[in-house]
Structure formats: C-alpha cells, structure tokens
Amino acid sequence: MLKQPTPFRFKCAHCGTRYKVETPYMKRIMVGIFFLLVILTVGLLEGTKRFGVAFLAPFLILLTGILLALEAWTQRYIFKKGKFIKIEKEAKPDR
C-alpha cells in the first residue's frame, strides 16, 4: 500500500521506502487539472452571482464528484503507466 505525500512521490505505508514516479505526460495532465479547477472556480463565481447562494449546494456536489473522479483516474493512470524508481537515501559522510 502506497501513500502519496506529493503528486510525484509515493511512500510505502509498511516499510517507509520512498519512490519517485515518472509517467508520460503527467506534468501536462496536472496543468490541465489546474486549468479545469480555474474554470470551475470562475463557474462558481458566475453562478453565485447569477443564481445566488442556492447555486452553491448543487455546485459543490458536482465539484466533489469531479474531484473524486479525477483522483481515481489519476491514480489508475499512475499505476498503469508510471515507472516507480526507488529513492535511495544519501549516505552521510563520516566526520
């Protein structure tokens, strides 16, 4: 079982071994997700301005679904196409 402290780093929950992940197009995917979130933020602002606070609840439900789907898809993409590289701890020099 791997935990993900950052988007391109994983850590084994059992032994603490750290891995760096290299996947094709991952940086582009992250930029695309960022722009999707910016567009959704603009949609929230415009919808709230136009329909009032009543727009907030359905929008948050939709946003939660979108974020969960993106997270699941990203994890599946990383585990299918990703190359896990073990990060070796650097040896400390003796003094």
* Domain parsing of the chain, residue ranges: 2-86
pTM of this structure = 0.66
Q: In what order do the strands lie in the sheet with 18-22?
A: 2-6, 9-12, 18-22, 83-86
Helices (H) and strands (E) in the chain, counts: 2, 4
Q: Is the distance from CB of 26 to CB of 34 less than 8 angstroms?
A: no
Whole-number average pLDDT of the chain: 83
List pLDDT tens digits, range 61-75: 999 999 899 888 988
- Give the separation between CA 21 and CA 6, rounded to whole angstroms: 10
List pLDDT tens digits, range 24-37: 888 898 899 899 99
Torsion sign across C-alpha atoms 36, 41, 42, 48:
positive
Q: What is the DSSP letter of 28?
A: H
CA atoms within 13 A on the CB side of 35: 5
